[in-house]
């Protein structure tokens, strides 16, 4: 049986979808897509299923063995259990401003159904074009505050001075975090941990049609 990433690569070739196009749809970097499709790095199950859904392929589902068994849970082809999806409430509208920063307005209604196990997952609707084409005006991002950030993927960063931004995480060490702007106009940014309030991984980017009210 072929692996999930072999099936994904075959479907992308069939539909002439490039790694760059898939990265844009998923809200990650082309490098991350390349690692996943070559089997060099295994993403979270919900990320795998996000890609498979975009390619109209069957999702993977973790099936736990019987209680008396000590076998490791298996991942197999099948229907994704409904419990794997949850609502990510709309926390606000992210109004994009100068230098790649944004202000989150106080209120926005609606939610996004997402493939995540994070009970605290939330979403934000984007206004403005400073992160286009990766994140377009009117689209939404959803974040997973209880998941660890991964280099090469997008993160939502809030600084202690209140500034907020979505960037690509380049690396993080004991002293600082290095970020790259989604829009090439703003370049690279290095921030010491003392100036960071939190970093939440971006689980995905969805179009307006996926926002429910």
Closest C-alpha to 60, from 109, 131, 2, 113: 2
- Between residues 61 and 10, the one the model is more confident about: 10
Q: Structure tokens of 71?
A: 């076998």
**SS3 assignment for the chain:** CCCHHHHHHHHHHHHCCCHHHHHHHHCECHHHHHHHHCCCCCCCHHHHHHHHHHCCCCCEEEECCCCCCCCCCEEEECCCCHHHEEEEEEEEEEEECHHHCEEECCCCCCEEEEECCCCCCEEEEEECCCCCCCCCCCCEEEECCCCCCCCCEEEEEEECCCCEEEEEEEEECCCEEEEEECCCCCCEEEEEHHHEEEEEEEEEEECHHHEEC
Residue 77's pLDDT band (cuts 50, 70, 90): very low
Per-residue model confidence as pLDDT tens digits over 137-183: 899 999 999 888 888 899 999 999 988 888 899 988 889 999 988 87
Q: What is the pLDDT of residue 25?
A: 86
What domains can be seen in the chain, in order of their start residue?
4-77 (1.10.260.40), 85-212 (2.10.109.10)
In contact, 158 and 198? CB cutoff 8 Å: yes
The mean pLDDT value for 93-120 works out to: 79
**pLDDT value of residue 94:** 83
Would you state the structure tokens that stand for residue 93, as one six-digit string? 């509208």
Q: How much is the average pLDDT of 84-96?
A: 84
Q: Considering only residues 100 and 83, tell me which one the structure prediction assigns the higher pLDDT.
A: 100
pLDDT on residue 76 = 39
Query: Are the C-beta atoms of residues 145 and 172 closer than 8 Å to each other?
Result: no
- pLDDT of residue 20 exceeding 90, the answer is no
Per-residue pLDDT at 116: 85
Inform me whether the pLDDT recorded for 57 exceeds 80. yes
What is the mean predicted confidence (pLDDT) over 3-30?
86
The rounded mean pLDDT for the chain is 81
pTM score: 0.61
Shortest CA distance to 85 belongs to which of 119, 132, 51?
119
């Amino acid at each position: 049986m072929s692996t999930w990433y072999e099936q994904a690569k075959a479907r992308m070739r069939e539909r002439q979808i490039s790694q760059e196009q898939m990265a844009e749809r998923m809200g990650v970097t082309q490098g991350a897509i390349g690692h996943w499709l070559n089997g060099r790095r295994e993403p979270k199950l919900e990320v795998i299923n996000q890609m498979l859904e975009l390619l109209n392929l069957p999702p993977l589902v973790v099936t736990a063995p019987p209680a008396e068994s000590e076998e490791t849970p298996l991942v197999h082809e099948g229907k994704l259990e409904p419990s794997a999806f949850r609502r990510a409430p709309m926390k606000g509208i992210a109004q994009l401003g100068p230098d790649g920063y944004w202000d989150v307005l106080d209120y926005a209604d609606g939610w996004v159904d997402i493939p995540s196990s994070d009970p605290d997952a939330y979403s934000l609707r984007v206004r403005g074009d400073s992160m286009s084409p990766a994140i377009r005006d009117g689209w939404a991002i959803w974040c997973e505050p209880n998941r660890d950030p991964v280099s090469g993927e997008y993160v939502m960063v809030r600084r202690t001075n209140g500034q907020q931004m979505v960037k690509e995480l380049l690396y993080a060490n004991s002293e600082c975090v290095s970020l790259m702007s989604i829009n090439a106009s703003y370049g690279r940014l290095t921030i010491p941990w003392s100036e960071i309030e939190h970093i939440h991984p971006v689980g995905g980017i969805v179009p307006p049609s996926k926002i429910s009210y």
